[in-house]
Structure 1
Amino acid sequence: MKKHLYLTLLTAAPIILSLNNGCNAESQKDSKQVAAAPSPRHTKNLNLSIFLDLSDRIDPKKYANETMEIYQRDLGYINSLAEAFQNHVNKTKISSMNETMQIFFEPEPKSKEINELAKQMKFIFDKSTVTPAKIASIVPVYTSSAKEIYQTALKENKFIGADIWTFFKNKVKDQCILPNHQNVLVVLTDGYMYHQENLLKVGNQTSYLSPELIRTAKLNAPDFDKKMSTGKFGFIPATSGLQELSVLVIGINPQKGKPFEEDVIKKYWSDWLTEMGVTNFQIKGIDLPTYMDSIIKKAIANK
């Protein structure tokens, strides 16, 4: 009986060893998979630029919105952007830190107060300047300074328009793109472009877009896409070589009662950005900040 038991154990031993080796192999495999999991750290530094369109689109008297005024929505978007940037900085290794966030206008505001506030909103973090207190100040500074900027603009009540086309022509390459960075430009605008000192026109391509232009060209129709392509309607390319730039346009706000106006505006922007070399862009309508928050943070996180 003992001999029979001994033989049985000898016979079973290779099977047990084989099973153990299999379990060890699976365990090692799992360990390798865990070890190979991507790190939550960022691989690229972030260069975040925000363009504020302080034209009459933010005027609550001219463009009232019962749900939430336009300028209040802008402030919500800006708060989300500040939170996204602060989260990014908190997850970045100090040894490789080189993060930037700033705001732009075009033309520059004549208000000294607005220009001073804009300076306060420029953050540059590297290993020699970063501190916990400075990181923690990002959201409070952006929240309070942005609010003051909009209040000042509304109080002065001098809306001369925003020259977005010239901003792309003269400043985007030099000031919004850094080498070896994730370069993101966020434009807060209703999608129309107009500035009294920049009204270029070459054929059906222009440096501006207004409700009147869309109406005159009869683009607000179901076949707007075909009309625009056939007639070569669009923005004149302001520059080229923007492959290293991601663009997020927020706030497209067409005139009421124009069913295809938003589509026309988005096509103008989409064609324009594509012609200038931008391959990664999103063009969003005017939504409540609560709904736009996740879109903004995913765009900044590059997800």
Structure 2
Amino acid sequence: MEDTQRKKHKKKDKKPLYLLLGFLIFFGIFIYVLTRPSLQSKAIGQIQVCSNVNDVKSLYERYKFDLLETDENGNKIVALEFQDAVRNKLSSFNLNEVELGKCLEWIPPSKTSLNIIVIPDLSRRITDTIENPRQIENDLIVLNTIWNSFVEYSKLKQDTKDKLIVDVTDIDQAKGQFSSIANQLQFDLSTHKGKSNRLYFTQAKNKQFNNAVVALYKSAKEKPLGADYIFYFRRYLVNHLKKPTLYDNYINKVVIITDGYLELEKRQDYGGGSRWNYTEINNPLYSSVNIGNIKNTITSLSLNIPKLNNIDLKYTDILVCEVNERKTGKTKDFEILKAYWEDWFERMNANKDKISFIQREQANEITKTQINEFFKK
């Protein structure tokens, strides 16, 4: 009896020890859970010690499905903190353009911004009321449609680098009256940070755009000059186009407002001999329309618009609008002009599927619809 009581008493004495031991074990597990490295921290730590691009890519592929989070739109994406670590490490390697391009094929695209460059032809095309009646009115409709598409694309976003610029092709125009309104035709949201883009697109901004384009055409009407797109592409467009980086993605949209005929006011040698008419229309070209080999004929006759080696249109969508045959009955001119421009763009690395043309339409609503579709692509 006494032995039984003694055993019970010993068990009671050890109970607090068991409780204490259990508490210590539980507390230890709790501290371990709190302090152990998370999977993301582990992945980021491994990324930081990588010594080359292949190692970074391998780790990214290993962890990308385990490190998912939900973005503001409810979509599953690779955790942004992990993405940043990958981008920062790749950036430290000082990649060349080819290496960067390969990385952009596997890393998730960063936030995309729209970069629009509009280049109207302000030559005598806008004052020729016989060949191009109401041309200025048509151009202003095109420009306002572009502006509205830009606003519609950007207004619901925040912290983008969307940009629209309206520029001129002729250096004499750029040095003249246009220089006084040039700043009024540049709209850059990269400095509009931390707030909705809705707050950028005010009535004052709409008025600024409308007044500036009217002033631009008024100035050009008083002194129309040649539309030297070859010079503009080589000297200015190359600086306006944006290429994707590890941190920013861009869609370049170049809009050329022209009748399609590329002719200079005076002869100019761009490496193919002294020429002025770069869209020459002749009988062999008319014949080639019927059999569908216009580009081959242009090349065989050495009529190609000179390629510019300093420009790459790989990341660029192009729209040529208001293309208009000058002579009644010359219904094949559109196909020939389209072939000239396509051939030129493609030799500068443009994707054929990213090149669009709009003929001058009798109904402006058709043109508006086609422009809106171009910006939705």
Is the TM-score greater than 0.5? yes
Is the aligned partner of 1:187 residue 2:256? yes
Residues 53-96 of structure 1 show CA distances to partners (whole Å, capped at 9, x for unaligned) of 1001111435342xxx111111001001000111112121x2x3
Is the aligned partner of 1:274 residue 2:339? no
**Structure 2 counterpart SS, 1:234:** coil
Percent of aligned pairs with the same residue? 19
Unpaired stretches in structure 1, ≥5 consecutive residues: 1-33
**Structure 1 counterpart SS, 2:242:** coil
Using the TM superposition, give the Cα deviation of residue 202 of structure 1 relative to its aligned residue in structure 2, in angstroms.
Answer: 6.0
Query: How do 1:135-146 residues align onto structure 2 when only pairs under 5 Å count?
Result: 135-136=201-202, 137-146=204-213
CA contact under 8 A between 1:83 and 1:139: conserved in structure 2?
no
Using the TM superposition, give the Cα deviation of residue 181 of structure 1 relative to its aligned residue in structure 2, in angstroms.
Answer: 0.8
Task: Tell me how far apart the structure 2 counterparts of residues 188 and 113 of structure 1 sit (CA, whole Å).
Answer: 20
Cα RMSD between the aligned structures? Answer: 2.9
Counterpart for residue 359 of structure 2 = 285
CA contact under 8 A between 1:204 and 1:232: conserved in structure 2?
no
Residues 24-67 of structure 1 show CA distances to partners (whole Å, capped at 9, x for unaligned) of xxxxxxxxxx96599xxx951111110011001111435342xx
Task: Tell me how far apart the structure 2 counterparts of residues 36 and 178 of structure 1 sit (CA, whole Å).
Answer: 26
Distance 1:204 1:43, change over 3 A: same
Counterpart for residue 259 of structure 1 = 331
Q: Is 266-275 or 104-113 further displaced after alignment?
A: 104-113
**Structure 1 counterpart SS, 2:162:** strand
Q: TM-score, normalised by structure 2?
A: 0.61
Task: Tell me how far apart the structure 2 counterparts of residues 296 and 278 of structure 1 sit (CA, whole Å).
Answer: 19
Is the aligned partner of 1:58 residue 2:140? no
**Structure 2 counterpart SS, 1:228:** helix
Using the TM superposition, give the Cα deviation of residue 134 of structure 1 relative to its aligned residue in structure 2, in angstroms.
Answer: 3.2
**Letter of the aligned partner of 2:281 in structure 1?**
I
Unpaired stretches in structure 2, ≥5 consecutive residues: 1-72, 78-109
Task: Tell me how far apart the structure 2 counterparts of residues 124 and 292 of structure 1 sit (CA, whole Å).
Answer: 26
2:265 to 182, 190, 196: 196
Q: TM-score, normalised by structure 1?
A: 0.74
Task: Tell me how far apart the structure 1 counterparts of residues 319 and 208 of structure 2 sit (CA, whole Å).
Answer: 22
CA contact under 8 A between 1:89 and 1:135: conserved in structure 2?
no
Residues 180-215 of structure 1 show CA distances to partners (whole Å, capped at 9, x for unaligned) of 2111110001111122355337669967425xx323
Counterpart for residue 155 of structure 2 = 90
Using the TM superposition, give the Cα deviation of residue 139 of structure 1 relative to its aligned residue in structure 2, in angstroms.
Answer: 3.2
Number of aligned residue pairs: give it.
Answer: 256
CA contact under 8 A between 2:234 and 2:308: conserved in structure 1?
yes
**Structure 2 counterpart SS, 1:276:** coil
1:123 to 177, 187, 195: 187
**Structure 1 counterpart SS, 2:119:** strand
CA contact under 8 A between 1:248 and 1:281: conserved in structure 2?
yes
